[in-house]
Amino acid sequence: MTKMDNVAIADQVDQSSHPSTFLSKYIWSQDHKVIAIQYSITAIAVGLVALVLSGMMRLQLGFPNEFSFIDPASYLQFVTMHGMIMVIYLLTALLLGGFGNYLIPLMIGARDMVFPFLNMLSYWIYLLSVLVLLASFFVSGGPTGAGWTLYPPQAILSGTPGADAGILLMLASLAIFIVAFTMGGLNYVTTILQARAKGMTLMRMPLTLWGIFVATILGLLAFPALLVSAIMMIFDKVIGTSFFMPAILSLGETLEHSGGSPILFQHLFWFFGHPEVYIVALPAFGMVSDVIAIHARKNIFGYRMMVWAIIAIGGLSFVVWAHHMYVSGMNPYFGFFFATTTLIIAIPTALKVYNWLLTLWRGNIHLTVPMLFAIGFIFTFTHGGLTGLMLGNVVIDLPLSDTFFVVAHFHMVMGVSPIMVLFAAIYHWFPLLTGRYLSNRLGKFHFWGTFLGTYAIYLPMHYLGFLGVPRRYYAMGDTDFIPESAQTLNAGITVSAIIVALVQLVFIINVIWSTFKGKKSGRNPWQATSLEWQTAQFPPEHGNWGEQLPQVYRWAYDYSVPKVKDDFIPQNLCPKEVEYLASDKNMTKGESNATF
Amino acid sequence: MTIAIVIILLVIATLVFHFISPWWFTPLASNWQAIDDTINISLWVVGAVFVAVSLFLAFVILKYRHNKDRRADYEPENSKLEGWLTIVTTLGVAAMLAPGLVVWGQFISVPENIEVVEVVGQQWHWSYRLPGKDGKLGKTSIKLISEENPFGIDVNDINGADDLLIKSNELHLQIDQPIKVLLRSKDVLHNFAVPQFRVKMDLVPGAITFVWFTPTKLGRYELLCEELCGIAHFTMRGFIKVDSANDYQTWLASLPTFSQTLIHDTADIAQGKQLYDSCVSCHGIDGQGNDAMNAPKLAGLSRWYLHRQLSYFQQKIRGQNSKDLYGQQMAAMSVLLTSDKAIEDVSAYLNSLIPTKKSQVATTAIKNMPMSTGNAIKGKLFYKNCAYCHGEQAQGNFAMNAPKLAGQHAWYLKRQINAYQQGIRGAHPADLYGKQMVLMSKVLHDERAVDDVVSYINSLPNTREIEL
């Protein structure tokens, strides 16, 4: 028996006991697939709240003084909650808690996460963090309106809406979220390192896994900075410490604090905040790589470079944080360092874009809905990445920082682009969950509305930034340098935003309708090579693989291999079983994938 | 197919939008041409890359879209191509970064012998301080800030005595004179940003930050706070007026030094009472106001507020708008106060008036007047926006430059809110804090909201403002 303890997970016999009751199957489930769906539904639901909040903000900006329910306090509250929900509770939770959970065990050929109970706990704690966050809408003073960056001193002083219960609930919710994330994150990393099927070397993993893997490590290293800053701010607020609070006034009254540094918070926040960008971006990079390869029937170009680029971006993301603080009043000499690192990170990022393009080059591109969203991603990400090159170049940030240019930039690069990938991924993997396709017609409508609509929102928004229109302004009023036409432009942006929001209803309808009535997809409908499509039952059931775990013989990108009959070879297909074209019967195995 | 064409059209649309957009940088008014140049170089580079990548994407989709009879190529890697792409990208990035770093080097090296001005931010106002003849700013401390000494200057620091104080949101600068702006905040983070000057920097409580620039064009430029600083962030505006050398000297001469601001004549309440005689016919013997004469209540208002408004009337800052009939009347009457001392005296007298029983009766009567038809409960919701400055009890707050509202006649409050909303009051460039009310008053979207908030203010107890 002592020997059994050392048996690799891939060699262990199936000991899982399958749940039988409704509760243990769908509610208190330890099945990673169910937990993934729980995460996804919660994240999308709370994301819809954030979408509505952004709509309210846009109404005020587009048509100021028309809507009496939006006053300066509630405007700031909408801005803050929209930002925080989208970044943390939607994107991070959906990409890692949702897709990470669903795909890791299936793609590496494992029965489940290595710590299924912890995985379940992770979801319920995440749900708790969401409830605590939403509770702040119902407390006196409402949710915090400090901006999603929650900068002290104003976040905890009475000149800011929600400076009492609202900010405390926000900080508590973040702390709870981080607990949930840590449980999930340790699980994802351990599972990828320990539970891969035989033959699944790290350099054979699909890029989706690489993106999720590195993003999770980033999260485990970055979230603690947010956790401590949340705790320190709670202390400043509740027990009167002065971590972030120098001697100051608040609405004319002298406070007891002294000696603290508001900039310390900014460093802690962005030490988390910048890696957070890549916690969202890397899984998206990974998933879009796989969608592009599969739907273009071609191997991902430059796989090894793609992997190293993900790792390099992950590493560099920890040394660029202060580019969010060029005009914060930090030591100005930091500008040289952070501008340089920021522009260096553009190099591996640019290489990824080239490699996506070169994957499409000489491919056989099926313009399916997932592929359309992936193409939309390449376009919006290129746009957003390039404006990032401008903002990262420290002097350019002087006029543009804190204007709508920044808002437009980060929405292109970490709003629209990852969401394009999320939709690509949902349309792509939906058959794996349900055995049915999402409706193609509704999907195309959804794509065009989202792609064109978001561009109509964000392209013009950059120009408001050039003009110098500041962000987080409830209203501009009559400002000398802002022409009337800027208001017209703002109204146009709002109309586009409302259209985009409504188009998302089509997506929701599509998901609900297709779950029950969608066209049956059959096994492996996209003819993909990766393991998640090769399970014994389709869609995969609890335990994923039945008695026998799969064995992997090649990388995940054997598409259109010359002289092979099919245009894809599943990772777990034994070389002997690969069928060659009649004329090439004498071909030996392995020529196609010598490197991997 | 469609997607490729749409991408090409989007590229064209982006370029067309870029070149016809009327929304573009404000004309430069400082020495920072180098920043504009860096932006232009970067825009050309990233624009070219955007067009190239997008068109290549469209081309690839068109050329390699699905065809039953064709198979995709199989090419896992091409190290030569990947190597070249890495090198070219690195060179391109370096070419963009280098000029940026050079200009940043200029931005952080402040020229020697530069003039200095201190900009002080607070929720939600600007004020300024010049070092005076000795060229040195006096030490300051948050703990020293008071109504007497709003800058918190240390009276024991010899350097502070001749500091010139600008208790206004408008700063003048001399054209072509390089200036280092020291930034200090009394409360939360703020940001000093004038789009035409291009540079900006946060104000950080507990620290002094700076920017420097040389104004190169005469004009009056709007100063915005661009770091979220609370509910009225969007109203935190100031002005920078760039003067010729002569005009600048004239302006300098008009500024009081710190030590001058500490000395002021004791206001003579008895004198003020005499002066008030000419106001009685409208404002009433007890300063209780009179709706028939369109005269607001004055008793118990704070001295600084009365002083400011009377000065505005005299200096034709208030009561000049053709729609402001009663204001015009007051502007005409205000010339009876022939000196600043007279204004001070009458303000002190009015401040000393405690609402008598008689006027309290009048206040109760006001509550029942038909003008105040709003719903005080709804009004309370609106009033939370006002409470940040005017106080929970509408008692006023000197530090926020917000007058007392409690006890004021409903019809007067309503008329003033309407006047702010329509730009009848507060639109004059010299009305320092009026612009803020112009912006804030628009939170009340309709007549009913104004009535509601006025009723709520009327329901608050009319206590005397706590004097510092």
Same domain, A482 and A535: no
Instruction: Give contacts of A253 with chain B, Cβ < 8 Å.
Output: 399
Give the gap in angstroms from C-alpha B305 to the nearest C-alpha of chain A: 16
Same domain, A103 and A152: yes
Instruction: Indicate the residue among A153, A179, A200 that finishes a domain.
Output: A200
Q: In this structure, are residues B441 and B420 in contact, taking their beta carbons and an 8 Å threshold?
A: yes
Structural domain span for residue A552 = 524-596
Per-residue pLDDT of chain B (468 residues; tens, 9 = 90+): 899 999 999 999 999 999 999 999 999 999 999 999 999 999 999 999 999 999 999 999 999 999 888 899 998 889 999 999 999 999 999 999 999 999 999 999 999 889 999 999 999 999 999 999 999 999 999 999 998 899 999 999 999 999 999 988 999 999 999 999 999 999 999 999 999 999 999 999 999 999 999 999 999 999 999 999 999 999 999 999 999 999 999 999 999 999 988 887 678 888 888 889 888 888 988 888 888 888 999 988 888 999 999 999 988 899 888 888 888 889 888 888 888 888 888 998 988 887 654 444 444 444 445 456 788 888 998 898 899 999 999 989 998 999 999 888 889 999 999 999 998 998 888 888 888 999 999 888 888 999 999 999 988 887 654 443
Query: By CA distance, what is B210's nearest residue in A?
Result: A329
pLDDT for the residue numbered A298: 95
Instruction: Indicate the residue among A200, A234, A257 that finishes a domain.
Output: A200
Instruction: Indicate the residue among A502, A521, A540 that finishes a domain.
Output: A521
How much of chain A, in percent, has pLDDT values that exceed 70?
Answer: 96
Same domain, A394 and A471: yes
Q: In this structure, are residues A218 and A278 in contact, taking their beta carbons and an 8 Å threshold?
A: yes
3-state secondary structure string across B266-301: CCCHHHHHHHHHHHHHHHCCCCCCEHHHCECCCCCC
Report pLDDT digits (tens) over A464-504.
999 999 999 999 988 989 999 999 999 999 999 999 999 99
Same domain, A422 and A486: yes
Is the link from the previous residue into A153 a cis peptide, with omega within 30 of 0? yes
* CA dihedral angle for residue A261, residue A265, residue A270, residue A273, rounded to 10 degrees: -170
pLDDT for the residue numbered A595: 55
pLDDT for the residue numbered B368: 46
pTM: 0.93
Residues 6 or more apart in contact with residue A488 via CB below 8 angstroms: none
> In this predicted structure, which of A9-13, A275-279, B273-277, B317-321 has the lowest mean pLDDT?
A9-13
The total of structural domains in chain A comes to 3
Same domain, A196 and A120: yes
Interchain proximity A358–B81, CB inside 8 Å? yes
Interchain proximity A159–B73, CB inside 8 Å? no
Average pLDDT over chain A reads 93
pLDDT for the residue numbered A280: 96
Give the gap in angstroms from C-alpha B372 to the nearest C-alpha of chain A: 20
Would you say residue A167 lies in a domain? yes
Same domain, A434 and A531: no
Instruction: Give contacts of B378 with chain A, Cβ < 8 Å.
Output: none
Give the gap in angstroms from C-alpha B241 to the nearest C-alpha of chain A: 13
pLDDT for the residue numbered B466: 40
Interchain proximity B189–A153, CB inside 8 Å? yes
Interchain proximity B435–A477, CB inside 8 Å? yes
Instruction: Give contacts of B202 with chain A, Cβ < 8 Å.
Output: 327-329
Report pLDDT digits (tens) over A107-159.
999 999 999 999 999 999 999 999 999 999 999 999 999 999 999 999 999 99
pLDDT for the residue numbered B357: 43
How far is residue A82's CA from residue A78's CA, in Å, rounded to a whole number? 6
Would you say residue A286 lies in a domain? no
> For residue A212, what is the enclosing H or E element?
helix A207-238
How far is residue A410's CA from residue A122's CA, in Å, rounded to a whole number? 29
Locate all alpha helices (DSSP H) within B1-78, ordered by sequence.
2-20, 33-63
Instruction: Give contacts of A459 with chain B, Cβ < 8 Å.
Output: 14, 17
Measured from the Cβ of residue A261, the count of other Cβ atoms closer than 10 Å reads 18
Would you say residue A308 lies in a domain? no
Would you say residue A327 lies in a domain? no
Structure tokens at A412: 């292109």
Give the nearest partner residue to B25 out of A253, A299, A466, using CB atoms: A466
Interchain proximity B35–A367, CB inside 8 Å? no
Interchain proximity A379–B74, CB inside 8 Å? no
- Tell me: pLDDT of A69 over 60: yes
Same domain, A467 and A410: yes
Would you say residue A496 lies in a domain? yes
pLDDT for the residue numbered B464: 54
Query: Amino acid letter at A254?
Result: T
How far is residue A141's CA from residue A160's CA, in Å, rounded to a whole number? 10
Give the gap in angstroms from C-alpha A463 to the nearest C-alpha of chain B: 6
Please, which pLDDT band fits residue A533 given cuts at 50, 70 and 90? very high
A574 touches chain B (CB under 8 A): no
Could you give the 3-state DSSP secondary structure of residue B173? strand
Would you say residue A324 lies in a domain? no
pLDDT for the residue numbered B249: 96
Interchain proximity A344–B93, CB inside 8 Å? yes
Give the gap in angstroms from C-alpha A159 to the nearest C-alpha of chain B: 5
Q: Average pLDDT in the A31-52 region?
A: 96
pLDDT for the residue numbered B353: 83
Same domain, A496 and A548: no
Same domain, A434 and A558: no
Same domain, A377 and A454: yes
Q: In this structure, are residues A125 and A176 in contact, taking their beta carbons and an 8 Å threshold?
A: yes
Same domain, A512 and A389: yes
Would you say residue A267 lies in a domain? no
Would you say residue A557 lies in a domain? yes
Measured from the Cβ of residue B76, the count of other Cβ atoms closer than 10 Å reads 19
Instruction: Give contacts of B233 with chain A, Cβ < 8 Å.
Output: 76, 472-474
Same domain, A38 and A160: yes
Interchain proximity A378–B222, CB inside 8 Å? no
* CA dihedral angle for residue A233, residue A235, residue A237, residue A239, rounded to 10 degrees: -170
